Amino acid sequence: MKKALDEVMKDYLSSVFRVSYAILNDKHDAEDIAQETFLQYYLTTEDFESDEHIRRWLLLVAVNRSKNLVKSAWKRKREPMENLEEMGNTVVFQTREDRDLLEAVAELPLKCRTIIHLFYYEEYKIKEIAEMLDISENTVKSQLARGRSLLKAKLREEWNDE
């Protein structure tokens, strides 16, 4: 049940872009990854079983492409703060807390960023993240704990104890 590209982009473009942004901390790179991900969707012969299957497939492609880009080590000469400011008119942070949280996520180790985002933004369970990323549940739990601890240290009262 492969759905039309425009329908899939309407439903998942934001999610694909945001998971890429969580990993890359670069709006332009995240947009590139989103475009490549949807092109790959258009070209794939994958036999999708459900909407959820499509969603997971897209997120996984975006995650893998984003990680590859990080590991290819292309570093734009741009600091996180500059990057956020560069978004200019397209982003209006309602609060300083929103901005602080994005910066804190950007400073997490690479392994943590993906897991934290899939858990907190996409609301996947630990078992589901382990299946998606083909890692053990214990690894997901330990990376989640590490990420939470680092976010708490960075954000202090802006991040609750769990």
Partner 1 sequence: MMNNKERYQKAFNTIDPSTDITPERIMELKENRKMTKGRVGFRKTLVSLVAAVVLVIGVTGGAYAADLGGFRTNVNTWLYGEPVQVDIEEIGEGDFIVHYPNGVDRQTGGNSFDKDGNPVPFTADDVIDSLDYPEIATIDGKVIMFYKNEQVDITEDVKDGKAEVTFKPGAMKLYVTVDWTDEYTYSVHTEQSLF
Interface with partner 1 by CB under 8 A: which residues? Answer: 5-6, 9, 13-14, 17-18, 21-22, 27, 30-32, 34-36, 38-39, 42-43, 71-75, 77, 87, 90-94, 97-99, 101-102, 109-111, 116-117, 120-121, 123, 148, 158-160, 162
Amino acid (one-letter) located at 70: V
As measured in angstroms, the least distance from the Cβ of 75 to partner 1 is: 4
Backbone φ/ψ region at 44: left (φ over 0), alpha (ψ -120 to 50), beta: beta
The answer to whether 16 and 64 have CB atoms below 8 angstroms apart is no
As measured in angstroms, the least distance from the Cβ of 154 to partner 1 is: 13
Closer Cβ to partner 1, 74 or 82, answer by number: 74
> SS3 breakdown of the chain: % helix, strand, coil, rounded to 5?
75, 0, 25
For 110, the token pair is 């690479």
Closer Cβ to partner 1, 109 or 136, answer by number: 109
Closer Cβ to partner 1, 101 or 140, answer by number: 101
Please report the beta strands in the chain, taking only residues with DSSP state E, as ranges in sequence order: none
